[in-house]
Amino acid sequence: MDPTLSVVVCTRGRGEAAYPAVASLLAMRPQALEILVVDQGGDGALAARLAPGPIRYLPQRETGVSRARNLALAETRGGIVAFTDDDCVVPPDFVARNLRAFADYPSAGIVFGNVLPAPHDPRLGIIPGVVKAEPFLATRLVDQVGLGGMGACMALRRDVLPSLVGFDPDLGSGGRYHAAEEVDLTLRALALGIPVLETPEVWVTHHGFRCHADAVPLVWRYLFGTGAAYAKQARRHPLAMARVFARVALRFARGATGVDYGSSPRIPRLRAFAKGVGAGLRHGVDPATGLFLPIA
C-alpha cells in the first residue's frame, strides 16, 4: 500500500463559511501529500481566500456530493484518499491517525472514523454524529448494520477503487436519493469482499448544527437514501440482504441507530426508510458497476 494520503473537502456554495474546515487542514502535522477543495457553485470568495497557497481549488459545474467525490478521486494522487465535510474540523494529527488505522488493519479498503458533535444545546437542535468506543471490522454484507460510518470522516485505499468504480451519483446530497452514498459504497465493498473498518482512532468534529425544525427533513433524507441503497443491494444479493433487513428491523425495534439523530420521532424515520426501499427497488441497476442506471 502506498502510505501517502490526500485529503479532500467538498463544498457547495458556502463561500468563506467553509474556511474553518480548510484552515484545520492547513494546520495538520504531518501535512498530507495534497489537499483538494472541490467547490460546486462557489461565488469565488473561497477561491480568493485560498490563492495563492498549498491547497488545490477545483471548481465543478455539476452538482451532487458523489460527483464531487468522484472528481476528487480522479484528481488526487495519494495511495489513501481521506474525505471530510465543509462543516467539520479535523485534528492536527488527522493524517497520522488515518495512516495508522490502515497500517493496523491492512485488509481494510475503507476506514470510517468518529464524527463528534461540536458543543451545542440539545434543547435547540441536533448535530448528527457517530461516536464509537471500539473498532469494528466489517467483512460481510450483514456486518454493515453494525457500522455508523459517515462521509464526513471517511478514507479509501486507492487500490480498491477500480473494483468499487466510485460513488453513485444518484445517492448523496444533491442526488436523486439525497443521501447515503457512503452506505452504498460500504455495501458494494462488502459484497466484493473488501473489509470496512470503523474506528475511534480517527475522528473529526462536526459543526453542522440543525434546529429541530430543520433536523426533521435532514433525517428524512438520510433514511430515504439509506433505504434506496439497501434496495439496490437487495436486487443484487437478495439472500444476504434479507439478513441485513432482519437486523435493521431488530435495531429499529430496540431504538438503536448507527448515526445519532437526536430525539427525532422513530415512525417518520421508518416511513422514510420504507419509501427509499420502494424507490430503489423500482430503479434499474447496472450489473457491471453496481450503480443505479440513468433515468431519462
Of residues 295 and 37, which shows the higher confidence score?
A: 37
Give the C-alpha separation, 78 to 65, whole Å: 20
The answer on pLDDT for 20 being more than 90 is yes
Q: pLDDT, tens digit, for every residue of 223-279?
A: 999 999 999 999 999 999 999 999 888 877 666 666 777 666 677 888 999 999 999
* 240 assigned to some structural domain: no
Vertex 108 angle, CA 105 and 109, to 5°: 150
* 37 assigned to some structural domain: yes
Q: What is the pLDDT of residue 128?
A: 93
Give the C-alpha separation, 179 to 172, whole Å: 4
* 247 assigned to some structural domain: no
* 31 assigned to some structural domain: yes
What single DSSP character describes residue 293?
P
Of residues 175 and 251, which shows the higher confidence score?
A: 175
Phi and psi dihedrals of 123, rounded to 5? -70, -20
3-state secondary structure of 89: strand
Angle, helix 181-191 to helix 212-236, in steps of 10 degrees: 20
Number of domains in the chain: 1
CATH number, domain of 132, equals 3.90.550.10
Q: pLDDT, tens digit, for every residue of 135-149?
A: 999 999 999 999 999
Whether this prediction's pTM lies above 0.85 is answered by yes
Amino acid identity, residue 33? L
* 262 assigned to some structural domain: no
The answer on pLDDT for 47 being more than 90 is no
Instruction: Name, in order, each residue with C-beta under 8 angstroms of 106's C-beta and a sequence gap of 6 or more.
Output: 1
Contact 71, 60 (CB under 8 A): yes
Domain of residue 72, residue span: 5-211
Instruction: Tell me which residue of 206, 118, 217, 214 sits closest to 154, measured CA to CA.
Output: 206
* 205 assigned to some structural domain: yes
* 243 assigned to some structural domain: no
Instruction: Tell me which residue of 21, 58, 18, 52 sits closest to 38, measured CA to CA.
Output: 58
Contact 257, 131 (CB under 8 A): no
Q: What is the pLDDT of residue 262?
A: 67
Instruction: Name, in order, each residue with C-beta under 8 angstroms of 93's C-beta and a sequence gap of 6 or more.
Output: 28, 29
Strands 88-89 and 153-157, bridge-based pairing = unpaired
* 149 assigned to some structural domain: yes
Q: What is the pLDDT of residue 106?
A: 97
Instruction: Tell me which residue of 24, 21, 1, 23 sits closest to 10, measured CA to CA.
Output: 21
Instruction: Tell me which residue of 149, 156, 210 sits closest to 182, measured CA to CA.
Output: 149
Vertex 183 angle, CA 4 and 102, to 5°: 25
